């Protein structure tokens, strides 16, 4: 085992976890303290394991101290929702919470779940109880654990989808922390006497959980909607005859986060290292998870994701250790082919005759827009009549799924009434942004609030070059941590400072290749100008069916990125247009 022989000082987070009595710490006391809307720093870290972030409204920060006010604290609450599937009853519950406690809005995340922002500390327990009342929770939705497990949303392969979804649910449950801390602290559950002092509460994680977040996803080709190569551990379905899944290719070491100016940090696409049978999937998953638990870097949190452990130890060492821990080696990976990582919009019919409607939700923001779609009200009305379920896609969109044929007209009427299918262009439908300002504490620049305007400008440029209907993926984040997976978008924009972005180009349309830094610190005008030149060249020089991300490499604008380790090499524009 190739581990660093010199013991390094553990990060403070490791001490916090170790001393937290399985994620309890001072949370109960801090949550009960009515004198502040915040919690202590340690509690804020532990909160993440329970699916919450302590945030504050950054728009208001400049005025607060002058007005003798503390920061405007609010909690971000994220649901654990494997595969992004929920019942209409659950939708209505979340909608009710949003109306009362979370500013009349729900946010669909890039990992197929919901976030609510700005929930006051004093309302957190009420909100979590209401979430619990509809058989949902927020356990491990954030934190150093196995985050929400993703699965393909592709609605027209109903049978395969059902299998992938079922697996996602079972995986989520399998890796869910066993501690009762969540129930004790937030749901007034009974105290489990002495649990904090025992050593065997978390059979998979142990007392210190994972070195860093650990993400799992299940993809079914040809759709790579979940961006399987961005997952720490991804599974790619190999579909055999009769639409049955014969097994899964295993990809490890994907991950988006990096830090500006620190080239030892980088995004990385996962490597497909083999194939396993459906019945072995938990053994393999647990092997990868525990290897990362044991080998992962617990000193430097910027080097703690599985992707660095993989690069530090090599794929062969991983394969061997997986074979050891899973009891058998992985088979050779099987062929597969992805075509895109986007969603298909509109009505589709599944193999079982049920209908599915995929609705575009710009940046995943569900609310009633003045002069725009009335998404919150419209979806409420739909949830009241719909007898199937609702799915959240990895592209922050919604699927009204399993609509029986006699309900189609009723739903279609509501969709029209509330303007839920406002016509939008190819670029907008393929665009994605993280939440960023004002709530996210990490944001360096705007994202969700800015992207729609930028898209409008870029659409005009595309139209000018006859590219209005071209599918190009465009993703923006307010910081380099990459929640909206900008490094695997054909156009990636990553916030550098207020109004400034780094521009990444050359990622593959199907999410299999990272982009490359093309230009730094661009403001709005510079972004539009730079892309306008590229659009012009693309329109002139492209081959039939060639995607924009492939073109910019072939045309020599940027160097291709092979994997994380060469992500920072040969960056910058390689050709003057």
Partner 1 sequence: MTAKPIPATAPFAEDEIHILNQVVGIATPTQRAWLAGFLSGLDAANAEAAPVAAPRTAEPLTIIYATESGNSESLAADVAKAARKLSFKPTLIDMADLDLAMWPKNKRLIVIAATWGEGEPPARATAAYNELMSDAAPRLDGVEFSVLALGDSAYADFCGVGRKIDARLEALGAKRVSDRVDCDLDFAEPAARWIETSLKALAPPDAGRGTVIPVDFAQKSAAASVLGPVEAEVTEHINLNSSRSDKETIHIELSFDGAAPTYKPGDSLDIYPENDPDYVVAFLKAAGLSEDADLRDDLRKNRDVTTLSLKALETYADVTGQQDVKALIASGEAAQWIAGRQLIDLIETYPAAITAEQLRKVTRPLAPRAYSIASSMQEVGDEAHLLVSAVRYETHGRQRKGVASNYVAERLKKGARVKVKVKPNRHFVLPAADKDVIMVGPGTGVAPFRAFVQERRATEAKGRSWLFFGDRRFNDDFLYQLEWQDALKDGILSRLDIAFSRDATEKVYVQDRIWERRADIVAWLDGGATFYVCGDAKAMAKDVRATLSRAFADVKGLDAEAAELAVRDLERNNRYQTDTY
Contacts to partner 1 by CB under 8 A: 34-37, 57, 60, 63-70, 72-74, 100-101, 120, 122-123, 126
Distance CA 388, CA 406 (A): 12
Q: Which of 233, 216, 256, 228 is nearest to 336 (CA)?
A: 228
Distance CA 29, CA 121 (A): 12
Give 18 or 60: the residue with its C-beta nearer to partner 1: 60
Q: Compute the least distance from the CB of residue 373 to partner 1, in Å.
A: 24
User: Which positions are annotated as active-site residues?
Assistant: 78, 147, 213, 215, 434, 440, 479, 483
The set of residues, in sequence order, having a beta carbon less than 8 Å from that of 504 and lying 6+ positions away, is 486, 487, 489, 491, 492, 493, 494, 515, 516, 517, 518
Q: Compute the least distance from the CB of residue 474 to partner 1, in Å.
A: 32
Burial class (CB in 10 A: 0-12, 13-18, 19+), 543: exposed
- The answer to whether the CB of 398 falls within 8 A of the CB of 155 is no
Give 74 or 82: the residue with its C-beta nearer to partner 1: 74
Distance CA 10, CA 23 (A): 18
Q: Compute the least distance from the CB of residue 363 to partner 1, in Å.
A: 22
Q: Compute the least distance from the CB of residue 441 to partner 1, in Å.
A: 16
Q: Which of 450, 377, 468, 365 is nearest to 419 (CA)?
A: 377
Q: Compute the least distance from the CB of residue 135 to partner 1, in Å.
A: 22
Q: Compute the least distance from the CB of residue 36 to partner 1, in Å.
A: 7
Q: What is the DSSP string of 345-402?
A: -EEEE-TTS-EEEEE--GGGEESB-TTS-BHHHHHHHHHHH--SEEEE-TTS-EEEEE
Q: Compute the least distance from the CB of residue 34 to partner 1, in Å.
A: 6
Give 128 or 555: the residue with its C-beta nearer to partner 1: 128
Distances in Å between the alpha carbon of 171 and those of 151, 165, 403?
11, 10, 27
Distance CA 528, CA 520 (A): 13
Report DSSP state, residue 199.
S
Tell me which H or E stretch contains 505.
Answer: strand 500-505
Give 103 or 206: the residue with its C-beta nearer to partner 1: 103
Report DSSP state, residue 54.
E
Q: Compute the least distance from the CB of residue 371 to partner 1, in Å.
A: 22
Q: Compute the least distance from the CB of residue 217 to partner 1, in Å.
A: 36
Residue 129 pairs in a beta bridge with none
Distance CA 144, CA 297 (A): 12
Crossing angle, helix 121-133 and helix 88-101, to 10 degrees?
A: 170
> How many residues does the structure list for the chain?
577
Residue 75 pairs in a beta bridge with 54, 119
The neighbour count for residue 308, using CB atoms within 10 Å, is 23
Q: Compute the least distance from the CB of residue 482 to partner 1, in Å.
A: 30
Q: Compute the least distance from the CB of residue 52 to partner 1, in Å.
A: 17
Q: Which of 443, 425, 429, 349 is nearest to 395 (CA)?
A: 429
Structure token pair of residue 325:
């821990």
Q: Would the CA dihedral through 254, 256, 257, 263 be positive or negative? A: positive
Give 75 or 91: the residue with its C-beta nearer to partner 1: 75
Distance CA 428, CA 414 (A): 23
Give 37 or 206: the residue with its C-beta nearer to partner 1: 37
Q: Which of 518, 521, 519, 369 is nearest to 452 (CA)?
A: 369
Q: List the Cα angle 143/146/147 in 5-degree steps.
A: 65
Residue 373 pairs in a beta bridge with none
Give 97 or 160: the residue with its C-beta nearer to partner 1: 97
Structure token pair of residue 172:
């989520």
The residue behind tokens 């990060």 is: 11
Q: How many helices (H) and strands (E) does the chain have?
A: 17, 20
Give 40 or 299: the residue with its C-beta nearer to partner 1: 40
Give 61 or 554: the residue with its C-beta nearer to partner 1: 61
């Amino acid at each position: 085992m190739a581990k660093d022989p010199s013991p390094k000082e553990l990060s403070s987070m490791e001490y916090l976890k170790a001393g937290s009595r399985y994620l309890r710490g001072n949370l109960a006391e801090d949550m009960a303290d009515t004198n502040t809307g915040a919690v202590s720093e340690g509690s804020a870290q532990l909160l993440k394991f329970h699916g919450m972030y302590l945030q504050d409204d950054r728009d208001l920060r400049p005025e607060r101290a002058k007005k003798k006010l503390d920061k405007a604290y609010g909690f971000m609450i994220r649901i654990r929702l494997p595969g992004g599937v929920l019942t209409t009853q659950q939708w209505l519950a979340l909608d009710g919470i949003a109306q009362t406690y979370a500013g009349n809005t729900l946010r669909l995340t890039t990992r197929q779940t919901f976030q609510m922002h700005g929930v006051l500390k004093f309302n957190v327990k009420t909100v979590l109880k209401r979430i619990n009342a509809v058989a949902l929770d927020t356990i491990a939705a954030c934190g150093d654990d196995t985050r929400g497990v993703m699965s393909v949303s592709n609605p027209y392969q109903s049978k395969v989808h059902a299998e992938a979804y079922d697996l996602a649910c079972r995986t989520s449950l399998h890796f869910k922390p066993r501690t009762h801390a969540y129930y004790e602290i937030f749901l007034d559950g009974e105290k489990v006497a002495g649990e904090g002092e025992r050593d065997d509460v978390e059979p998979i994680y142990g007392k210190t959980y994972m070195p860093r977040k650990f993400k799992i996803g299940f993809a079914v080709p040809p759709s790579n909607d979940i961006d399987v190569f961005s997952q720490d551990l991804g599974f790619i379905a190999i579909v055999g005859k009769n639409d049955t899944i014969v097994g899964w290719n295993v990809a490890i070491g994907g991950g988006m986060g990096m830090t500006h100016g620190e080239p030892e940090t980088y995004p990385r696409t996962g490597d497909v290292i083999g194939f396993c049978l459906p019945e072995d999937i938990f053994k393999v998953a647990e092997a990868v998870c525990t290897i990362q638990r044991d080998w992962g870097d617990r000193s430097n949190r910027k080097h703690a994701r599985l992707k660095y452990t993989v690069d530090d130890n090599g794929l062969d060492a991983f394969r061997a250790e997986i074979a050891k821990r899973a009891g058998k080696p992985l088979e050779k990976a099987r062929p597969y082919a992805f075509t895109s990582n986007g969603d298909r919009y509109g009505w589709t019919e599944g193999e079982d005759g049920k209908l599915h409607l995929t609705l575009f939700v710009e940046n995943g923001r569900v609310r009633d827009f003045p002069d725009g779609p009335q998404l919150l009200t419209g979806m409420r009305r739909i949830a009241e009549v719909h007898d199937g379920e609702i799915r959240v896609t990895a592209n922050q969109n919604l699927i009204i799924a399993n609509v029986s044929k006699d309900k189609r007209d009723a739903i279609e009427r509501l969709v029209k009434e509330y303007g839920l299918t406002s016509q939008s262009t190819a670029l907008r439908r393929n665009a994605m942004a993280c939440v960023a300002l004002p709530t996210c504490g990490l944001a360096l620049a705007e994202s969700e609030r800015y992207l729609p305007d930028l898209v409008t400008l870029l659409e005009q440029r595309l139209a000018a070059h006859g590219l209005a209907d071209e599918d190009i993926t465009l993703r923006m984040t307010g910081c380099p941590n990459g929640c909206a997976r900008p490094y695997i978008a054909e156009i990636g924009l990553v916030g550098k400072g207020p109004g400034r972005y780094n521009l990444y180009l050359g990622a593959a349309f199907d999410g299999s290749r990272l982009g490359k830094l093309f230009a730094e610190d661009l403001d709005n005008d510079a972004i539009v100008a730079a892309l306008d030149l590229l659009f012009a060249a693309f329109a002139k020089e492209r081959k039939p069916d060639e995607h924009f991300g492939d073109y910019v490499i072939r045309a020599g604008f940027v160097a291709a990125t092979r994997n994380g380790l060469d992500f920072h090499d040969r960056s910058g524009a390689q050709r003057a247009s």
